[in-house]
Amino acid sequence: MTEQLPGRYVNNRYQLRRLIGRGGMGEVFLAYDRLMQEAVALKRVMLPHGESDLTVPGIDNRLALAMEFQTLGSLRHPNIISVLDYGFDDEEGQPFFTMELLHQPRNIIEAGRDMDVSAKLDHILQLLQALVYLHRRGIIHRDLKPDNVLVVDGQVKVLDFGLAVQRGLATEPPVAGTLAYMAPELLQETPATQASDLYAFGMIAIELLAGEHPFDTHNVANLIQDIYTRIPDLSGLDIRRKLAQLLKGLVAKSLAERHSDATRVLTLYAQAAGVALRESDATRESFLQAARFIGRQHELNDLLEGLDALTEGEGAVVLVGGESGVGKSRLLDEVRMHAMVRGMRVARGQSMQDGGSLYHAWRPIIQRLVLFTPVLAEETAVLKVLVPDIERLLSVPDLPAMGRQSALDQLPAVLEALLRRQTQPLVIFLEDLHWARESVDLLTRVYQGIRQLPVMLIASFRNDEAPDLPSVLPHAHLIELKRLEADEIGELCHSMLGDRVTNQEAVIDLLERESEGNVFFIVEVVRALAEETGRLDLIGTQTLPPTVFARGMKTIIERRLARVPLRDRPLLQIAAVVGRYLDLDVLTYLEPDVDLLHWLTVCSDAAVLDVNEGRWRFAHDKLRGGLFDRIDDEQRLVLHRRVALAIETVYGIVPEQYKRLAYHWGMAGDLEKEAYYASLAAEQMVQAGLNLEAKALYEQALRAITALPQTRERRLQLIDWATRRAEVSFYHPDDSIPEMLDHAMQAAQEVSDVIAVMKVLSAYGTYYYMVGQVNAARDVVTRCLALGHEYGIDRDQTLLDYMMRPYGTLGRTQILSGEFEESIEALDQSIAMGQATQQYHVVSSNLMWKAVSQYMTGNRQQSLQIADRAMQLANVIAHPSQIAGNLSVLAFLDAITGYTEQTEQRATLALEICQKTADVHPQYIARASMGRVYMLLGQERRAAHEFEIALKLAFEKQVYTTVPMFQAWHAETIASSGDWQRAVRLAENALQLAQKTHQRLSEAEVRRALGCIYAEAGMNVMEWQRARTHIRQSIAMFQQMKALPLLANALFQLAQLSYEHDEIESAANAMTQARVLANELDMPWHKVQIAALQGTLGVSGQ
């Protein structure tokens, strides 16, 4: 049967190419998997009309089917067809599953025609072992017949399992081909049992040995009569008498007389054939890995409630945390199955340890998304940066390449657009987020919108390795998995071992003692006990040892590896070096003569490897880590070098492999290549706005390059990477930067390179500015700019970058000094150079600071327009640090001009972004701005809380830009609470810091605050005179600087305090000046307060 099916798809992933089989229960197609790029067999299970509709009670049948599919998908036996994937058709709701495609198979009877008796007996043994395996998993085949037992290259493969739910829904009578292998009781509608499966096995064995079926299969009536009455004649078979007796017992008419235990039959068969058998590793693994879901019902119910809400369009982000081996993946597997049963789409990705490529965990998710989501042409070009073969997936012509930076900038917006286009519920699983900060970054950029979409994202992480992850996603729902309790350990033990185990209390006590409730170790203890006894059901019959793992993980690894043949272990070591997930292309390149499929099967049977979402991996990362630790240092160097060379050969030197190559070359001891690839990976992180990751990678590059003998080229590289590291530390300054830059300056002077010297001076300037040392910053950037002008660099378009940053730093230091007109000139220079060199994040930042200068000097409308341009540009390039920085500056402007609601909104947004970027400056500026607003609103406690957080962060990181101003505001809240002595001390400290760091703008604001605090201290003349002096000094400084919003506030407070001290004329004069400025600058809070004071003074508001 070869019916052609052009253009038909299942879930837009599987292209159905032709029909290759059809029965009463479904159809089997040759299909092409567009994601995995391989041919598969796809079976569509036919449910009666209506059962696929989620609006009818058929959902119970769907759940049962999904559970059976999940079980089939977990089967890993050399004689059973591998189920690769399963789900429900998006369009028709019909269930399906995919299997490995067998090439040129023959059914067992056809294959046996050319065999001798020993080969036939071997095929019967293989079939029986498969049946034992299935029955031990609780699976009854129900439709065992030659067409479902295929042979390829001498290997038996059992397929087309009859599903319990499917059988319950069947409406068609069995055909003659199936009747020939049906036990008599099945004709009377008795449910299928292991005994009926063994009957079918016996009939197949007899037919194979005899060369023909013992009954009349050409006439249905005669066939049915034979099934009930005829005893097969085995006298002519060339087999031992014991085997003939066994076969007769298998096909006995009476159910009571027939064999019903496949394991017992296997033992009898081995005796009859003279073969010694032990419980196979594969059989044992089937029980250990198929234990039912235990101990997580509360957490599962929590997640299922989320799925219920998702059907109503309410999205969510959920974090599932727990230690390694506690059962996170098992819980997610269970939720995945329930999601598919509800007709939801599912996408899954997993992070990699040690060198995964940028956004690695998101790649398979985006691959799936594009299969069922409309994608615009320009979005396709962006997504190509993560999915290089996207044109093939979407069947569109090759697209022109987009710049990598531009694509990364637009990626978050495109991902969010894809999520917004979902027309039915989507569940995304992200596993092992503790290994992928950049994947967390991409999530944080879109997760706020997820809650308003039909999207649920469930992410797992190790809470002992990434305890701060929940704080990065503060609105995510957190589920923490604890270790199993004693009763739950008992349930799990019963699930694996059943009721047959004797002395179960002692077994459970041993499991609890050895594992402490960690699921991974529970399974390992049971596995170890089974290996000692030879069979799972013999556990407890012998004296239990006091301990199983005297040497912990090392013992586990040794036990597992002992089951892998010696010839297969070298490749397993290479795989451990590669990582948790196997890179089959790299392994094939490294060991081209190894039969990879056979090797995978052997390692899977030993429970060292398994398959997840179609990808081979170590069954647990503890196994990979333990195996890796067994490799000696010298061999590790060799293996890492081989892997690195293989990656370069197989994939080429491409951005997706930079971080991976840096890791492997570093582990191989090649410092030159480690430094090279680490620097490339760092720059990739910079382009994605991931400053912390970039900082760590630049540090890796610097450590490597400084450990090598210094040449001119290496010194230039050191300078380049040190200054780049300083630049990304703009958002995360630390006290290691000066020493690092000192080394870089020494190297620059040694190579006598002007550009190198300018790079270092520029980086010094950035650092000094960020820590608030205004004069030091101004001094070094002035020297840098002078060098540039002297050597004509300002006229060379290719070298403008070395002038752009110093001009930007100069402009910002001038703002801190209150030189706003001068700062605008410097910032304009930097903006022009940034535009010329397309450094748009620099342009956006300097535009925002130019807006500050414009606002301070009274050009409010122009300032707002410039700020709007800065925000638009930051959003276009999707640079999170820049967006947060701009928002915090806007929040600061809103705070000092009295826009209370806008301040809170912008500061909150900035802080949400900073929770993932960990940027210092936007955090403390946003916090202080919120504190200022709470001061204006009379909420002193909330204000003090925000100031305390802001100042603690600033002092911990030793950054002092605008900090004296924030200290002064904090002191004012302390004074409001009545502790004016402490407030005076804090304000005096702030004044000293402002003068020490030459921050004149902050100094003026500190004097104003100090005046207000002295005024709060008492109503005596001396204190009032001191207060008035400070405030008037503040006003004079603001007037000189033309810092008009701060001047307006100082004048208003002078008016208030003058009125309270009966200096009415002075109060009226100050109030009039304050009113004019507040109106010109549109300062809403101040306008209200001034109006109230006017009424009190009886002064006209005209």
Residue positions forming the annotated binding site for ATP: 43
What's the CA gap between 643 and 661, in Å, rounded?
9
In the structure, how many helices (H) and strands (E) does the chain have?
Answer: 49, 16
Amino acid at 748: A
Tell me how far apart the alpha carbons of residues 343 and 89 are, in angstroms, rounded to a whole number.
Answer: 9
> How are the residues of the chain apportioned to helix, strand and coil, as percentages rounded to the nearest 5?
65, 10, 30
Q: How far is CA 263 from CA 143, 253, 259, 530, in A?
A: 19, 21, 10, 16
> Which helix (H) or strand (E) is 23 found in, with range?
strand 14-23
Q: Would you state the torsion angle of the CA atoms of residues 888, 893, 896, 897, taken in this order, to the nearest 10 degrees?
A: -140
List the one residue out of 59, 416, 120 whose CA is nearest residue 243: 120
Q: How far is CA 241 from CA 127, 246, 254, 274, 429, in A?
A: 21, 9, 22, 13, 57
Q: What's the burial of 918, exposed, middle or buried (CB within 10 Å: 0-12/13-18/19+)?
A: middle
| C-alpha dihedral (822, 828, 834, 838), degrees to nearest 10 | 160
In whole angstroms, give the CA distance from residue 553 to residue 623. Answer: 8
Sheet holding 26-33, edge to edge: 3-10, 14-23, 26-33, 38-45, 95-100, 83-88
* Alpha-carbon dihedral angle through residues 956, 959, 960, 966, given to the nearest 10 degrees: -60
- Tokens linked to 168: 């319950």
CA 809 to chain centre: 36
Copy the structure tokens of residue 1000: 């004149």
Extract the tokens encoding 970: 């904090």
Phi, psi dihedrals of residue 1040, rounded to the nearest 5°: -60, -40
Q: Give me the residues paired with residue 8 across strands.
A: 16
Whole-number CA gyration radius for the chain:
37
CB burial readout 357-382, b (16+ within 10 A) else e: bbbbbbbbbbbbbbbbbebeeebbbb
**Cβ partners under 8 Å of residue 528, min gap 6:** 548, 549, 555, 556, 559
Question: How far is residue 42 from each of residues 27, 29, 100, 338, 736, measured CA to CA in Å?
Answer: 8, 5, 9, 21, 59
1005 close to 1013: Cβ distance less than 8 angstroms:
no
Residue type, 913: I
Instruction: Tell me how far apart the alpha carbons of residues 101 and 77 are, in angstroms, rounded to a whole number.
Output: 15
Helices (H), 937-962: 940-957
Q: Please, what is the angle between helix 840-856 and helix 860-877, to 10°?
A: 160
Instruction: Please name the residues in contact with 381: beta carbons below 8 A apart, sequence gap of 6 or more.
Output: 399, 400, 401, 402, 407
Alpha helices of 274-327 — where are they, by DSSP H? Answer: 281-289, 297-311
**In sequence order, which residues have a C-beta less than 8 Å from that of residue 26 and are 6 or more positions away?**
43, 44, 45, 46, 166
Tell the burial category of 395 from Cβ atoms under 10 Å away from its Cβ (0-12, 13-18, 19+).
Answer: exposed
Q: How many Cβ atoms sit within 10 Å of the Cβ of residue 487?
A: 11
Give dist(CA 577, CA 53) in Å, integer. Answer: 48
* 500 DSSP assignment: -
Annotation: binding site: 43
